[in-house]
Amino acid sequence: MKESLQYEIIEKPIAKPSKKQISVPNILPPVPVNGPDDTNWSDQNWPEDINEVASSSVMSTGELIVYYSTVFPPYKQRYDQISRSNPSALAAFVKQYEFQLILHSLLLESRNKIESIETEESEEWERLERCRTAILSSINAEKHISTAALIPELES
């Protein structure tokens, strides 16, 4: 006994032009900042306490540059753990982490354009938001490489 279903292929609907324009900046490679002694640390006006800063970004002439701390403890802890347990996955972990920081920086840039608020309070909020996101990004990047490592086992 066979079942059959009737179906019909319909034409693709014509999209209505949107009034919203999205412009994505040129994204430069992220810049790792290796602690308070790195000149980029002071250039970014980051606080001395490594627990208080995870990343920042600069938008200039249509280009986005993300700076991130390689000594931010949640990131450093996972980085060190992976470098000992699975060195071949370290580059993938770093790329995944950087990718998530770039995405978050794009969202923050968009928010900043809309709200255009530059106060000490908003700067503090953004710094804390970047720390929260960096914690989640390091966890997600670690899970990403863990999941990728399981795939060959599932196929065999």
| 101-128 tens-digit pLDDT | 999 998 888 777 666 666 667 778 888 8
Structural domain harbouring 95: 26-155
pLDDT for position 118 = 64
In a domain, 143, yes or no: yes
pLDDT of residue 21: 65
Residue 18 lies in a domain: no
Q: Do the domain assignments include residue 4?
A: no
Question: Has residue 13 been placed in a domain?
Answer: no
Structural domain contains residue 10: no
Cα three-residue angle 83-86-90, rounded to 5 degrees = 55
On whether residue 150 sits in a domain, the answer given is yes
- Bridge partners, 4 (sequence order): none
- CA dist., res. 131 & res. 71, Å (int): 12
- The pLDDT, as a whole number, for residue 48 is 94
For helices 120-155 and 73-85, angle between their N-to-C axes, nearest 10 degrees: 20
* 3 within domain boundaries: no
Confidence (pLDDT) at 24? 79
pLDDT averaged per 10 residues, the chain (length 156): 74 77 84 97 95 92 94 96 92 94 87 66 80 85 75 46
In a domain, 44, yes or no: yes
Question: Total domain count for the chain?
Answer: 1
